[in-house]
Structure formats: structure tokens, C-alpha cells
Structure 1
Amino acid sequence: MASKNTVSGTLVDDKGTWTVRGRVTNPITGKVRNKSKSTGYKVKDNTKRKALQVMAEILAEWEKEANRVLPNHDTTLRYYVEGWLHNMEVTGRRNTVATYWSYAQIHILPALGDIPVQDLTWRVLQSYYEGLFKTHKVASVKKYNVVVNGALEDARRDGVIPSNPVDLLKWPREERFEGYPYNKDEVKKILVMARAIEEPMRAAIILGLCYGLRRSEVCGLRWCDIDLEQGTMHIQHTVTQNGNVLLDMDSTKTKRSNRVLVLIPSTAAYFRGLYAQQKAAGLPMDKVVARPDGKFLRPDGVYNRFKTLIKKNGIDTAIRFHDLRHFAGSMLADHGVPLKQIQAFLGHDYNSPITSKVYIHEELQSGAKTSAAMDEILGDFLTA
């Protein structure tokens, strides 16, 4: 256990006023901080005894302040992970922080949480991560490491460890998968399949292929987000997943992902019918992509069901559900839709932020053009 920060001080005459000059020494780093504070008493008034009493109070306050958050020399990683996450709750986005908490609780703390940070060498971390590489993608492990790195950076700043061992880690080469290339024939097969399958996957595929929604957005979309009278769809809710932990969020991946889409005309009747169908079945009328029992479809459920469906229907099994989003963007680009309109449609960031209601109105006009283009591309398949 580390000893406490030590505080020493003296009373000095500073331009006619009794003033406390002190030194606070960190026992771990050896660093010294100089402090100074006036007692408020004038030397000429023969007030040294009163000033000494005030000095004792000032030194006590300095010592209390210096040791309020002093970590122990053998403080565990758990202490720093939880501290880093609590700080993130103040500065970070809600769904990002929730995801980091799940990384910590599922992967990091059970394996490393009780190890003193001083004993957490790069070899310990390397061995732990190499075990994870057997069952997890490198990209996933790097996400977990964000939490570890943040925690150990705090420990380094406190002087508990001289350097951050994360800086010495060796990462395997990460294979970047660019997705399945756009193929019109495969898109037609998927559309034919979508017409024949039952809910909730029909809705999921229409939202993924026609509107370019991410899995998290497909699973999070609520009926309150669709205005059938105005013909709009507001993408503002998501469901993300880490293992068995589900995060049902009132937010999107990025600020730009929160977007309003104009309903594709040839899908409007479908959504009206789906709404009436769910209402007649007595479902809660919450999530659009809902199972017969009213529960929403999880992201892993979308992934697994889609994989089974394309195999059953003779479609290339290399196509992932997320590739439907790529197909949507490619179809619009192939149809001559401007890049900025496609970015707005998919919720990608670009350099023109929404700054006024006038701009939002203009964006909806642009969205109507994008919707009309998608209707022209897919209308025959959707209404057949």
C-alpha cells in the first residue's frame, strides 16, 4: 500500500499579510507541488497567533484534498476501468458508454479486473488478447482494448505505472472485408425472396435493401418513427448487441445517422398493411420488425435468419445482411443519384450540417428525389 501524500507548510510575511506557503509531495512519483494561500490577517496588527491557527486549517484542507482520490500503489485494473467509464458517462455518447460498459463487464473485468495495474505488463495483455483472437475478430478485440487503454492511461497519469503497456502490444494483421460487390441479379433474387417470405424478415429485408438501414436501425425502428400520413420515416432508435447484452437506445450510431427519410411510394402501402396486421394481432405496436409474439427481432436474429434464407433460396451465401445497405447505395449511384443525396439517405457524415429548419426542409425535398429514384428502381418488384 502506498503512503499518503504529505503536506508541509510555513507561515510567511507576504507584503504585509500572513500567508501560508506549502509543499505537497506525491509518495509514488516524488513530484512536489507548491501551494500558497493568504490567511487574511495583517502582520502589523500583531495577529500571528490567529494566522497560525488558520494555517493549521489550511494545511489540513490541503492534505484532505491531496489524498481524496489518491489511488493505492496496488490498485487493480477494475478501479481504473470503472473510473474511466464513469468519466466517459459525463463526456461520451450514451450508447457508446453503454457499449464500453458491456465490453468491460463481459470481457475485461472477469479476466483482468483483479490484477494490480502495476502487474499488468504488455506480456499479460498480449497473452489475454491472443486467447481472444481464437474466437473474436481483431477489430472486436481492438474495441475491447479501447477500455483497457483508457483505464491504463489514467493509471499512468496518476503515476501508479511509469508507462502504458498497451503501447507495446503487437496486433495481428487485420483482414479488411469490403463486402459483397453489387450484383443486380442477386438483388433481384433477394427481392423475389422478400415477396415470398413471412414477417418479420420481409420487413427487415425491405428496410435493409430499399432504405439502406443498418441492422441496429432495422431492429430499433418503431411505429412512432413512421408517419404514414406525411410519408416519412425518422431513423432515431437503435438496438445494438454485444454477446447476449442488448442495448435498446433512443439514439443512433452518429449524429448524422439520425435522419428523416421520405417513404418510397411503392413501400407505403406495404407499411400500412403491416401496421394493420400487427394491430389486428394485438401486438404492442412498438417495433416495426416484430415477431408474432410481439417481441422485437434481435440483431443476431436478423443475421442468422437472413443467412438461412439466402441459402434456402439459392442466393450466394457470401452476401451478408449488411451488404443490403451497400446494394442500396450502389443502386442509387448507378441510377445517377448525386453522392450527397446518397450520403443523406444512408446517414453518412458530410460537410454540410443541418443548421436551420429551412435546411431541413430542403433536405426533405432532396430526400423525396432519392425516394423517387429508389421507387423507380424497385417499384415493379415491390408492388408485384
Structure 2
Amino acid sequence: MNNPQKVKISSIRGNKRGVYEVVLSWYGPDINPKNNKLKRNQTTHYLKDKDGNNIPYKSGSKTERNKYNVNILAEQWRVFEEEKRFPSGAMLFLSFLDKFEEHENKRVERGEIRPITRDGYISVLNANIRPYFKDKNLKLNEVSKANINNFYDYLFDVKKLHSIKHITKTLKLIFNLAEDLDLITKSPVPKRRKLTSESNENRVKKHCLDEEEMAKVLEITKGTYLYSILHIGFYYGLRPSEILGLRWQDIDLKNKTIHICFTAVKSSSGLYCAEKTKTEDSNRTLPILDETVQIFKAIKTEQEENKRLYANCYHKEEQDFVFRQKNGKPYLPSSLHRKLNKMLTDNGLEPMRLYDMRPTACTRMRQKGFDAKLRAKWLGHTKTDITENVYTHVTQAEVNNSVNQLL
């Protein structure tokens, strides 16, 4: 037999619940330590009709089996398990996506990537890749460059460029894994595809606020919880995840320092916290201004009052976060973003991203004489070229003022 079955049907039987089930068995990939041979494994599946109901077992006769297509359904489960446990290039592309998801879960277990990173890939998978390829019925080794280009044509009609870049990264990971497993000879995803759109409306541009714009944003949010968060971001250049991850144990009001060593970001299950920063250089201790000390003291006083008012209803968080809602729950980046941009648009200002605080802080530091190495230290960058080329901007006001230097 050219293609022997690796997963076999051990039996088709009726169980104690009086319904049909198929028992599947296979050897491997684990080794039995007792005899140093491949370990025998089994799994059981209920057989269901087209409406999703369990098929009742009465006599198990040939007539009964034919009536409900029992043998066909059992073979479908056998093929599914074989593709899942012994993948090949002939498996369906959608089935391989399950394999990719398992692989990313194992990478999290090994500490290779953070859960929030895995969640990002899986989100892209379920929101974009699965829905598009769902009805294509393509096998893994049948996905061609033409299929991928058609996918991109579709994406440019419905997605922004920023989102397409995230989808591309996930696509590359999927087919790179297939290559590593020798399931395909070459990835159909172009290694260096230049992602551009015919119009600029889909382009996501980093927005760096000038001094006047920053002052307006702070003025509008004064007296709200957003003001404190924006103050930290605009003055110290912290990432949103670093701001929301600040804990009282990381703040030394006496010596006027903050230790950035913890992060909190939104994940599919709520708020994901990590006892490490994005890079080793992101773990840093920064001095703070007297104004910031007073802000922290005011936050602490308000939190203690909220604990008293809410009593047993105050949300008990494992981490003692600085920035919390009145009921003690931590803030989510998405809710902060919505609240901020509503306030800005209501006051006639352009919307901004929370991350825009970071390039704004870096640019202000340059204007105040901080050299590249010092700015990189404040922002937690490993290399100064990122600080210079990505986060440091030249404002329009600087361009306007520089005209006199041409004389």
C-alpha cells in the first residue's frame, strides 16, 4: 500500500449513552519508556447527523449503519485525526492553521514568545485568514502565489495598510512553519513584498504633537484620569503598556524615581501582565519631576478613598497598579483610546493614538538638548538608530522657524 493509514478505526460501537461512537488509534509520536517503542494512543468521537445530533445506537446492524452513514462519518473522523496528527502537504490549508495554532501555544509554553504575541497571531488568523480561505477548499501544498496575491487584492479593498502588515507577518510565520516541517518546498508568500496602496488614506502615520498641541491635549484632559496618564507619556516617553503596568512598588516618591520593569497590555482574555519589559534595555529607572511626584500622591490619596467607599466591592487585583478605575479594575488601552479621542474631537482637535505620546516625548527631548544616547536610555531603546529614525521628528514649527537661517 503506497499510503498506509497512520490513524486506524479500532471500532465503531454504541456506548453507554446509547449513541454511536468511533474509536481511533495510532502509534507515536511519543515513546513508551517500558519497551522503548512507539506509544499506542486512542481517541473517541461521537458520530452526529447533519443537524449535529448524536446518532442513536439500537442494534448496530448493517441496515442501521447505512441509514445514518455511520461508516462514512467514522472515516471522516479518521481522516481528520490523521491530518491533524500526521500532517502532510496534502492536508487542507485550514487544517494546517490548527497545527500552526498548536505550535504557537507550545512557543508560549517554552517562553519563546509572550501570550499577548500569540494572541495577536491567532486574532489575525481567525478574523482574516480563516474567513477568506474557508470556502477555497485548498490543500496546503496547493496554495500558490496567485492565491496569496488574490488575498492581498481583497485585503486592500477592506483593510488599512497597518492591518495588512500584521496579516502579512502572520502569513509568513504560517508558511515558514510548513517549510520547516517539509510539508511544502517553498512559501508562496513573497519575502519582500512592498505594501503600498494607491491612495494615502490607508496609510497609518505616526503623529508627533508639537508643544502647543501637547499643551492643548493636557488642558482638555485636566481634572480627569487621562491627564495623569498623558503626563507620564508626554514627559517620560513610556509605552502605554509600561504606563498601565506601573505599580506602587515601582515608584519611589522619596528619591523621585520610577522603575519600569512591568507591563500590562490587552489580550483576548482581558489584561495580560508580564514581569518583564519589551527588551532588557526597556527595564530602566528614571528620575521624575516634582510635578509628577504630586500627581502620584494625588492618585494614591484618591485610590485609598475609593477603597473605603467601595469597601468589599473594590476590585482586588493581583498587582497593585497605579492607574485603576474607581472600582479598582485596571484600565484597558482600548477604553482609554476611545475616551481620549472623544474628548479631543468634541474640542475640535485631531484624534491621536496613545502611542503618539512616545515620539512626542522623544522629539521634545531632542529640542531640549538630549543627545541620541540619552534619548534612547529614556525610551528604553537598545539602539540609537531606532530613537533617531523612528521616534524623533522635526515639527512644522521648527521648519517654519528655520527659514531665517537661510539668510
| TM-score exceeds 0.5 | yes
Counterparts of residues 231-250 of structure 1 (less than 5 Å): 231-241=256-266, 246-250=271-275
Q: Bigger relative contact order, structure 1 or 2, given CA contacts below 8 A and separation 6+? A: 1
| 2:373 alignment partner in structure 1 | 340
Q: % of aligned pairs identical?
A: 24
Matched position secondary structure for 2:272: strand
2:36 aligned with 1:3, yes or no?
Answer: no
| 2:340 alignment partner in structure 1 | 306
For 1:238 and 1:290, how far apart are their aligned partners in 2? Answer: 14
Contact 2:119 2:267 in 1 (8 A): no
| 2:174 alignment partner in structure 1 | 151
CA shift, 1:216, in A, is 2.2
2:148 aligned with 1:121, yes or no?
Answer: no
| 1:260-289 deviation per Cα after TM superposition (whole angstroms, max 9, x unaligned) | 222222210110121121122115473222
| 1:150-186 deviation per Cα after TM superposition (whole angstroms, max 9, x unaligned) | 2322323444323211138965406665533442222
Over the residues paired in the alignment, what is the CA RMSD in angstroms? Answer: 3.6
For 1:269 and 1:310, how far apart are their aligned partners in 2? Answer: 25
Rate the CA distance shift 1:245–1:279 in 2: closer, same or farther, 3 A.
Answer: closer
The residue type equivalent to 1:72 in the other structure is S
For 2:2 and 2:343, how far apart are their aligned partners in 1? Answer: 61
CA shift, 1:136, in A, is 3.2
The residue type equivalent to 1:338 in the other structure is D
2:104 aligned with 1:78, yes or no?
Answer: no
For 2:156 and 2:285, how far apart are their aligned partners in 1? Answer: 39
Q: Structure 2: any 5+ residue segments left out of the alignment?
A: 6-34, 39-84, 308-313, 385-407
The residue type equivalent to 1:304 in the other structure is R
For 1:238 and 1:136, how far apart are their aligned partners in 2? Answer: 29
| 1:191 alignment partner in structure 2 | 218
Contact 2:218 2:227 in 1 (8 A): no
Q: Structure 1: any 5+ residue segments left out of the alignment?
A: 6-56, 62-68, 352-384
Q: TM-score, normalised by structure 1?
A: 0.64
Rate the CA distance shift 1:271–1:182 in 2: closer, same or farther, 3 A.
Answer: same
Residue range with higher mean Cα deviation, 324-333 or 124-133:
124-133
For 2:270 and 2:129, how far apart are their aligned partners in 1? Answer: 15
Q: TM-score, normalised by structure 2?
A: 0.61
The residue type equivalent to 1:118 in the other structure is N
CA shift, 1:117, in A, is 0.9
The residue type equivalent to 2:97 in the other structure is R
For 1:109 and 1:2, how far apart are their aligned partners in 2? Answer: 32
CA shift, 1:226, in A, is 1.9
Structure with bigger gyration radius: 1
Rate the CA distance shift 1:328–1:287 in 2: closer, same or farther, 3 A.
Answer: same
The residue type equivalent to 2:359 in the other structure is H
Rate the CA distance shift 1:326–1:73 in 2: closer, same or farther, 3 A.
Answer: closer
| 1:254 alignment partner in structure 2 | 279
